[in-house]
Amino acid sequence: MPERVSVTSAEFIRNIGFWQNEALRRPVSITHHGRERLVLATPDAISSQGAAIDGSLARLRADADADADAIMQNLEDGFLVFDAKLRLARCNVAAAALIGRSRDVLRGQAMPELMPSPLGLLLQARLQRVLRARKPEDCAGVLGAVQVSARIFPVSQGVAVLLKNVTEHQDHRMRLGVGDALCAATNHHPHVAGIKLDAAGRVIAAHSGFHVWSGLEAEEIAGKRLIDLVPTGQRRQVATALDGVLHDGAAQRTEFVLIHRDGEEVSGVLSLAPIQIDLSTQGAMAVWVRRMTVDVASIVPEAPSQ
């Protein structure tokens, strides 16, 4: 559209004929108190500007659709879009991989056709509810050997589903639960103590029994090197075991004599295993079992008299 020429309202009224002719050549911007109020232009000029705007909007919509599709296809989670009849309209690569069929085969199918029962029927019921209520919902289930969580939410033309493979997450939660239970059981045992070490072999935390047998409080033990808690003559042996765990990533077992604050020595067996995250050793867990002296005569029954 040609560059506009500006004119005040008063000037336009006084010379309306002139400005009408001027508008045939280029748009006339009519101002009131210094602000643009109206624009006088030919129909062709307005049409060409409208076509340019429509073209720009079409390009923006195409770019937005392409960006949305790129995002959808690069999601690690499965993404499915169902139309108002709850037939699959769009599906990304991750969702097709979870379901185990190609996107072309899946398109147009209903949820019970996509996934086996009971997950397929459960998701179908949630899709119908979200389509009616227009409120998101969550659910979880098993798809073959994979545990999945689903987030169902309304979109402009229907309902979308975000599928996430949570098998590894659930496995990690189970491992954490088992680890917590094992620590609690160890802490409850009268002759066993658990010790957590950092990557330099320093004590991060220890169970209550360890504090009792060492005579040291938690804040006194924290930060101490494990080898500083044993007699001088045993330090090389414990250091070798620590090196095998922290540098070689191999579980170790060694004799461990703990020195009490008052000088008394308490002997036992120390087992160590590396704490590994993504194949990198971040520290170690140690379990020390105090060696008990048992009066054999007190537990062996007397021989029957002849």
Domain residue ranges in the chain: 5-70, 76-165, 170-290
Pairing of strands 137-143, 88-91: unpaired
Same CATH fold assignment for domains 76-165 and 170-290: yes
Distance from C-alpha of 88 to C-alpha of 103, rounded to nearest angstrom: 10
What six digits make up the tokens of 151? 């987030």
Cross-strand partners of 38: 30
Tell whether the model's pLDDT for residue 111 goes beyond 90: yes
Q: Which residue has 């101002």 as its token pair? A: 31
Decide yes or no: CATH 3.30.450.20 for domain 170-290: yes
Q: Which CATH class is domain 76-165?
A: alpha beta
Q: Which residue blocks in the chain are alpha helix, DSSP H?
A: 9-14, 16-25, 43-73, 93-99, 103-106, 111-114, 119-133, 167-188, 208-214, 218-221, 235-246, 296-299
pTM of model > 0.85: no
Among the residue ranges 51-60, 185-194, 211-220, the one predicted with the least confidence is: 51-60
Among the residue ranges 4-13, 127-136, 281-290, the one predicted with the least confidence is: 4-13
Q: Which CATH superfamily is domain 5-70 in?
A: YefM-like domain (3.40.1620.10)
What is the model's pLDDT at position 298?
Answer: 43
What is the model's pLDDT at position 294?
Answer: 45
